Structure 1
Amino acid sequence: MRLLHTSDWHVGRTFHGRDLLAEQESVLCALAEVVVAQEVDVVLVAGDLYDRAVPAAEAAQVCDRVLAKLKAAGATIVISAGNHDSAARLGVFGQFAAEGGLHLRTAVDDLDRPVVVGDEHGSVAIYGIPYLEPETARHTLGIPEQQGHAAVLGEAMRRVRADLAGRDGTRSVVLAHAFVTGGEASASERPIVSGGVANVPASVFDGVDYVALGHLHGPQRLAEHLRYSGSPLAYSFSEARHHKSVWLVDLDETGLAGVRRHLLPVPRALATVRGELEEILADPAHESLADSYLSVELTDPVRPVDALRSLQTRFPHAVHVQWLPDHARTADPLRPRASAGLDDRQLADRFIADCRGDEPTDSERDLLSAALVAGAAWDED
């Protein structure tokens, strides 16, 4: 049996204000081509199908079209809820959807009720553990005291192993949405620290053939049977070097037979550039960045006015600008403390110099003085 492991679609997310729905649909529909070309039997989505608990209608329509393509390609689909999803909303009509080959695992009570699929070697039990918020889940799972993510996932896996013990010879797969110790985070995941310590030890997932993890957006291998697929698109510039992909997981008669990586198309690359504004706008070496989402670090000694708009005249997909001149990178971290003995005018002058990288002009000093005088008069009144 061959499974395709993916997660963290975050359909409906924007990128620095840019709508990503068309790009998300393009990449996710390409999964249907993978299903056909690689003869995939089951597609696993380990949480965060949507970016919001209440997705926009357009996001729901994208998911509907993508899932329809995956089903038409011949795959059974198993989806578990992530911390961005509303489990209750995602699970609506789940019983009816299962009749069509779309299995939604969103309820804590169902985490030890597997989706059972078969091949020539017998049965495979696929357990979908939805994201477990500790304070809420511990009551359902019968954990008397608050003990964090490791405790609730440990109890969830105890129940999974108990069910599996009664299925002699059945191979096993688990979907889980969690931060497993040893994983590497990026800047685009929402922290899952409410209700206790976020990290979960890898040993929690012992005893099953393959664990399809979700939550972290970089593809990574924690053990041969324990992997994050990562998100199908980059959602922060910290992911610029990621090679977005899915895992193709093969099971034989004894269990896990092999895992290999399948790279996904990149609808729009991410790039960063550093320099002074006019140099960046004029340098022909940057021509290749015109079609990339661009993050720019400006080094001009004085903060340029309306820099993003200027950059977008040449780089229409420039979405992020940070002003970080050399004097700011080498600034004395103790300087803000050295303000004793300065009057209000001197403090205002220093604030402008530190923020802008240039001393106030004479006319600006006159304006500051007038403002301070007016402020003092207001306080007296």
Structure 2
Amino acid sequence: MRILHTSDWHIGRTFHGHSTLDALRDVLAVMTEQVREHRVDVVVVAGDVFDSATPAAACYSVLTDTLRAMADTGACVIVTSGNHDSAARLGFQSGLLRGGIHVVTDPASVGTPITIPDAAGPVHFYGIPYLEPALLRHLWPEARSQAAVMDRAMDLIRADLSERGGRSVAIAHCFAAGVEPTPHLERDIQQGGLDVVPLAGLAGIDYVALGHIHGRQQLAPAIRYSGAPLHYSFGEGDKPRGSWLVDLDADGHVETSWLDLPVPRPVVTLRGPLADILADPAHLPHESSWVCVEYTDTLPERDPMRRLQERFAFCAKVVHAPAVVAERSSRTYVQRVRSARNDAELVDAFLVHVRDGAGADESERELLAEILDERVRVEALA
């Protein structure tokens, strides 16, 4: 059986205030053609289909059109909910879709597979919707962490599988031990402590299709994250976009290959002095990219975003990241002000305070001296 493993579509997400809906629609259309071209039997979408619990109307049309187009290729489609999804809204959507499309959102269904046969026999697909421990105490009162609820879910799956026999695929949305998250991106489920799901808890299944991490990762030959189909942050810029093509043989062994997806607009971070970034011809290929600039000048520059967007129309983020940061004095600002012997030292104390330890340079001291001298002259004439 041939399976396409994807996840984290995040329909409706914005990129620094810009809509991604049209770009995502185009990328999902390419994915659908890959399903057709590679004669995929089953597409699994491992959670975070929407980016919000209250998606806009246009988001529903992207999902419905994509799932129906995938089903038109002859593939079955299995979708599970993630921590960004509203299980109720995503589950409601399932009632509007035709046969061959399965949407799994009810935790009570864990352990009951969607069984799809091929020439070698049945393959049992166990969808695990995102499991919030606080909302599952009526079902599993002893489970009070992500690890505990996932253990409970996997125990139910293994127990069911032992009775049915055959090959198996589990679909889950969680942090698994050993994963490398994108900093500040995969929010709401926290890596660390009780929320990490040990790999041992995912054992006993022929293939485990995971979602939640936005970069592809292999935790074991048969335990993988596919990542998101679009770049949703600058931290993902070096991570490829695509999905896993998984071939499951008659004995339950898997062979995997990676299918790249197009990147509608590359994501790049440029670092260096602002003047160099504005002038360097080496940055010519990035003029149509999403750009984050970390400029390393000692002092903040005036209106850097406007200046950068004159060259990089899609510059979306500017960060002042000085290459050298002046050593901070142990004295407080109040202490420096009180010890100032004249107005020039008073102004310098202020500059040190607001510019991360950088006081007036030589040209600024000369300018301050001229201004202060002129003030004294005007006051004397008055």
Q: Partner of 1:214 in structure 2? A: 211
1:284 Cα offset (Å): 1.9
**Structure 1 residues 134 and 287: alpha-carbon distance in aligned structure 2, compared to 1, 3 A threshold:** same
- The percentage of counterpart residues that share the same residue type is 43
Question: Equivalent of 1:258, from 255, 262, 283?
Answer: 255
From the superposition, tell whether residues 159 and 192 of structure 1 become closer, same or farther in structure 2 (CA, over 3 Å). Answer: same
Cα distance in structure 1, aligned partners of 2:170 and 2:132:
18
**Alpha-carbon distance in 2 for matches of 1:337, 1:350:** 12
Q: Secondary structure in 2 aligned to 1:261?
A: strand
Structure 1 residue 36: deviation in Å?
1.0
Q: Are 2:126 and 1:124 equivalent residues in the alignment?
A: no
Q: Is the 2:175–2:191 contact (alpha carbons within 8 Å) kept by the matching residues of 1?
A: no
Partner of 1:374: none
Instruction: Report the alpha carbon displacement of residue 143 of structure 1 after superposing the two structures with TM.
Output: 3.0
Q: What amino acid sits opposite 1:342 in the alignment?
A: R
User: CA contact under 8 A between 1:141 and 1:155: conserved in structure 2?
Assistant: no
Instruction: Tell me which amino acid in the other structure corresponds to 1:173.
Output: V
Instruction: Name 1:186's counterpart in structure 2.
Output: 182
Per-residue Cα deviation, 1:135-182 (whole angstroms, up to 9, x for no partner): 222x14323363x111110001111111112213x2111000010000
Once residues 201 and 296 of structure 1 are traced to their aligned partners in structure 2, the CA distance between those partners, rounded to angstroms, is: 38
Q: What root-mean-square deviation, in Å, do the aligned CA atoms of Structure 1 and Structure 2 show?
A: 2.4
With normalisation by structure 2, the TM-score equals: 0.87
Report the equivalent of 1:175.
Answer: 171
1:338 maps onto 2:340 in alignment: no
Contact 1:6 1:45 in 2 (8 A): yes
Cα distance in 2, alignment partners of residues 302 and 96 from structure 1: 57
Change (3 A) 1:357 1:21: farther
Instruction: State the one-letter code of the partner of 1:154.
Output: D
Distance of 1:67 and 1:52 partners within structure 2: 19
TM (norm. structure 1) is 0.87
Distance in structure 2 (CA, Å) of the matches to 1:193 and 1:301: 35
The AA in structure 2 aligned to 1:231 is: A
Question: Post-superposition shift, 1:300?
Answer: 2.8
Q: Within the alignment, does 1:352 sit opposite 2:354 as a pair?
A: yes
Aligned match of 2:142 in 144, 166, 176?
144
How much has 1:92 moved relative to structure 2? 0.9
Which residue of structure 2 lines up, in the alignment, with residue 28 of structure 1? 28
What secondary structure, in the 3-state scheme, does the structure 1 residue paired with 2:10 have? coil
Q: Would the alpha carbon gap of residues 356 and 17 (structure 1) be closer, same or farther in structure 2, given more than 3 Å must change?
A: farther
**CA distance 1:356–1:72, change in 2 (3 Å):** farther
**Aligned residue number for residue 271 of structure 2:** 274
Change (3 A) 1:145 1:110: closer
Aligned to 1:285: 282
Task: Give ranges in structure 2 of 5+ residues lacking alignment.
Answer: 339-345, 373-382
Note the alpha carbon deviations across 1:205-245, whole angstroms, 9 max, x for none.
Answer: 11111100001111011111100001111111111111112
Q: Distance in 1 between matches of 2:167 and 2:242?
A: 25
Q: Which amino acid aligns with 2:337?
A: D
Deviation string 1:105-134 (CA, Å, 9 cap, x unpaired) is 101001112111111111111011011112
Q: 1:252 to 1:145 in 2, by over 3 A?
A: closer
The 2-side partners of 1:195 and 1:325 are apart by: 31
Structure number with greater Rg is: 2
One-letter amino acid of the counterpart of residue 176, structure 2? V
Q: Distance in 1 between matches of 2:104 and 2:143?
A: 26
Q: Which runs of 5+ in 1 are unaligned?
A: 367-381
